[in-house]
């Protein structure tokens, strides 16, 4: 390790960039609504591209629109050390979920340039398309195609509620690249992300070293009953798909609690048809979000929800259809990369603890094809996927410092 031990990133510059990016795709309550492949997403991409090119980076874009912003190393034949996350947000998202990880990568490059440091390996800062999966399921879509978890054709054909497809929207905003997805060599991938949970803040710890990520299943259920008048249809004659959804919502809660504390479950996406005040819902479509760090528990939860929902449908006289629309097994991150992050936190004097990520991240998929690890910083009240999501500047600075030093190590900084 060279004397780079004293180098620090510029936390004020990072914070200014976060606030600048937050102006694009404003939400209605102080957060962001910069959903993937919208015009706001395109504006955010263009700003990120301008900032990177001002630092001398060159851009490559693959067929899923993922952006690879490259800083050459002294030996261009070596695979790059990559840093990244996502600039797309939830419809009622915060200013930091994903964005911190991308702009922290840019800050690492800005600091390298400012300090005049060279690295043997190239460095690439990545903005993965459609991490959130809110507009187009599943989540972590582009990194999933990159890791071979779904085909480009499947991703391209995915449509949003208005019937617009990933392919048509990528073309429309002008971000469909030429490069085959998954072709790019990488030495390692590091992602900085807010914790999106309460542990670090509650325990007063600066840094989370993410050793594992919990697994996820998105189980979409369609219940079909019969639309009829809410006033005239006698109760015993009703086939109420809305009632079915309500009972499955409670079922998911009970199944998750039966595996406490290593399981969580909820239904966040729900569509009621025809959604008229005086028509009994004939059809409901909703997604059960089931998670656990333990694969056996995850699969048991799915089985219990399917069995229970089938029973509920039978009792009410509904037809039921279930299908997985997303998911990934629990993740164990790469020991070498995890060690580099931990050593960086120690060298920099930041308190740190091991964490299991509760949320899914692009790193969870990339880890299947590239040595990968994550570092986390606290967030206020552990709140995320809410426009009130907040972090403190010093948390962003600490996380980016740790990322910076792990990258200096992995990319072999020259003295």
Residue number, 156 or 218, with CB nearest to ligand HGY: 218
Task: Tell which positions 133-152 bind ligand HGY, by CB under 6 A.
Answer: 133, 139
Measured CA to CA in angstroms, residue 73 lies from 120, 215, 306 at distances of 5, 35, 52
Q: Which residue is nearest to Mn ion (CB)?
A: 98
Nearer of residues 245 and 359 to ligand HGY, judged by Cβ: 359
The answer to whether 142 touches 101, Cβ cutoff 8 Å, is: no
DSSP secondary-structure letter at 3?
Answer: G
| Alpha helices for 116-234 (secondary structure H) | 141-146, 152-157, 166-173, 199-203
CA dist., res. 294 & res. 278, Å (int) = 44
In the complex, what is the shortest distance from the CB of residue 339 to ligand HGY, in angstroms, rounded to a whole number? 25
Interacting residue with ligand HGY among 62, 88, 124, 131 (CB under 6 A): 131
The candidate with the shortest Cα–Cα distance to 71, out of 23, 122, 144, 26, is 122
Interface segment toward Mn ion; rule CB under 5 A; list 11-19, 98-106, 121-129, 237-245: 98-106
Q: Are 152 and 181 in contact (CB under 8 A)?
A: yes
Is 293 a binder of ligand HGY (CB under 6 A)?
no
Q: What are phi and psi of 110, to 5 degrees?
A: -60, -40
Assess 371 for contact with ligand HGY (CB under 6 A): no
109 and 57 Cβ atoms separated by less than 8 Å: yes
Output the smallest distance, CB 358 to ligand HGY, in A.
Answer: 7
Binding ligand HGY (rule: CB under 6 A), the pick from 101, 242, 360, 371 is 360
User: What b-and-e string marks burial along 386-408, b requiring 16 or more CB atoms within 10 Å of the CB?
Assistant: bbebbbeeebbbbbbbbbbbbbb
Q: Residue 98 binds which one of ligand HGY, Mn ion, none, with CB within 5 to 8 A depending on kind?
A: Mn ion
For the bound state, the minimum distance from the C-beta of residue 77 to Mn ion, rounded and expressed in Å, comes to 33
* Candidate segments 30-38, 131-139, 310-318, 348-356, binder of ligand HGY by CB under 6 A: 131-139
Q: H/E element holding 406? A: helix 393-410
Alpha carbon separation from 207 to 155, 203, 210, 338, 353 (Å, rounded):
34, 11, 9, 12, 7
Shortest distance, CB of residue 163 to ligand HGY, whole angstroms?
Answer: 23
Question: Is the Cβ of residue 64 or residue 243 nearer to ligand HGY in the bound state?
Answer: 64
The residue among 72, 68, 42 whose CA lies nearest residue 56 is: 72
> Binding partner of residue 360 among Mn ion, ligand HGY, none, CB under 5 to 8 Å per kind?
ligand HGY
Residue that has been written with the tokens 């263009």 in this structure: 46
Size of the site for Mn ion (CB under 5 A): 2
Using CA atoms, how far residue 356 sits from 144, 159, 293, 396, 406, in Å, is 20, 32, 8, 19, 19
Token pair for 192: 């900085």
Q: DSSP assignment, residue 382?
A: G
Of the candidate residues 41, 107, 124, 132, the single one contacting ligand HGY (CB under 6 A): 132
Distance of CA 241 to the CA centre of its chain: 31
Q: Which span (50-58, 132-140, 328-336, 396-404) binds ligand HGY, by CB under 6 A?
A: 132-140
Single out the residue of 163, 197, 196, 20 nearest to residue 97, CA to CA: 196
* Interface stretch with ligand HGY, choices 130-138, 249-257, 259-267, 308-316 (CB under 6 A): 130-138
Residue 186, binding choice from Mn ion, ligand HGY, none, Cβ under 5 to 8 Å by partner class: none
Instruction: Choose the stretch contacting Mn ion; rule: CB under 5 A; options: 53-61, 73-81, 89-97, 368-376.
Output: 89-97
- Using the rule CB under 6 A, give the single segment among 33-41, 126-134, 220-228, 393-401 that binds ligand HGY: 126-134
97 binds Mn ion (CB under 5 A): yes
One residue of 27, 65, 73, 98 binding Mn ion per CB under 5 A: 98
Cβ proximity to Mn ion, 131 vs 302, nearer residue: 131
Residues of the shown chain interacting with ligand HGY in the complex, contacts defined by CB under 6 A: 131-133, 139, 359-360
Where on the chain is the footprint of Mn ion (CB under 5 A)?
97-98
């Amino acid at each position: 390790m060279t004397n780079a031990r004293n180098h620090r990133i510029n936390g004020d510059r990072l914070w200014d960039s976060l606030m600048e990016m937050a102006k694009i795709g404003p939400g209605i309550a102080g957060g962001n609504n910069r959903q993937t492949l919208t015009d706001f997403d395109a504006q955010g991409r263009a700003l990120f591209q301008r900032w990177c090119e001002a630092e001398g980076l060159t851009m490559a874009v693959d067929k899923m629109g993922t952006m690879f912003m490259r800083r050459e190393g002294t030996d261009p034949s070596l695979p790059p050390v990559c840093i990244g996350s996502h600039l797309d947000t939830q419809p009622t998202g915060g200013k930091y979920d994903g964005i911190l990880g991308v702009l922290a990568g840019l800050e690492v490059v800005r600091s390298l340039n400012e300090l005049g440091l060279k690295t043997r390996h190239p460095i690439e800062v990545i903005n993965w398309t459609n991490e959130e999966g809110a507009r187009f399921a599943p989540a972590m879509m582009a990194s999933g195609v990159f890791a071979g978890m779904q085909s480009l054709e499947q991703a391209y054909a995915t449509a949003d509620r208005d019937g617009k497809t990933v392919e048509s929207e990528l073309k429309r905003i002008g971000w469909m690249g030429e490069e085959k997805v998954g072709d790019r060599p990488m030495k390692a991938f590091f992602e900085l992300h807010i914790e999106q949970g309460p542990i670090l803040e509650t325990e007063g710890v600066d840094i989370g070293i993410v050793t594992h990520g919990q697994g996820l299943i998105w189980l979409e259920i369609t219940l079909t009953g019969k639309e009829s008048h809410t006033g005239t249809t006698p109760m015993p004659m009703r086939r109420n798909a809305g009632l079915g959804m309500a009972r499955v919502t409670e079922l998911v809660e009970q199944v998750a609690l039966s595996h406490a504390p290593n399981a969580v479950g909820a239904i966040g996406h729900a569509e009621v048809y025809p959604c008229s005040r005086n028509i009994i819902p004939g059809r409901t479509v909703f997604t059960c979000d089931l998670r656990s760090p333990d694969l056996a528990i995850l699969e048991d939860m799915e089985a219990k929800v399917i069995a229970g929902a089938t029973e509920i449908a039978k009792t009410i006289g509904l037809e039921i259809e279930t299908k997985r629309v997303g998911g990934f097994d629990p993740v164990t991150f790469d020991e070498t990369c995890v060690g580099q992050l931990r050593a960086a936190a120690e060298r920099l004097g930041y308190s740190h603890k091991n964490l299991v990520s509760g949320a899914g991240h692009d790193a969870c998929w990339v880890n299947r094809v590239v040595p990968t690890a994550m570092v986390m910083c606290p967030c206020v009240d552990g709140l995320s996927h809410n426009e009130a999501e907040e972090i403190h500047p010093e948390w962003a600075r600490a996380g980016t410092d740790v990322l910076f030093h792990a990258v200096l190590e992995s990319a072999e900084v020259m003295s």
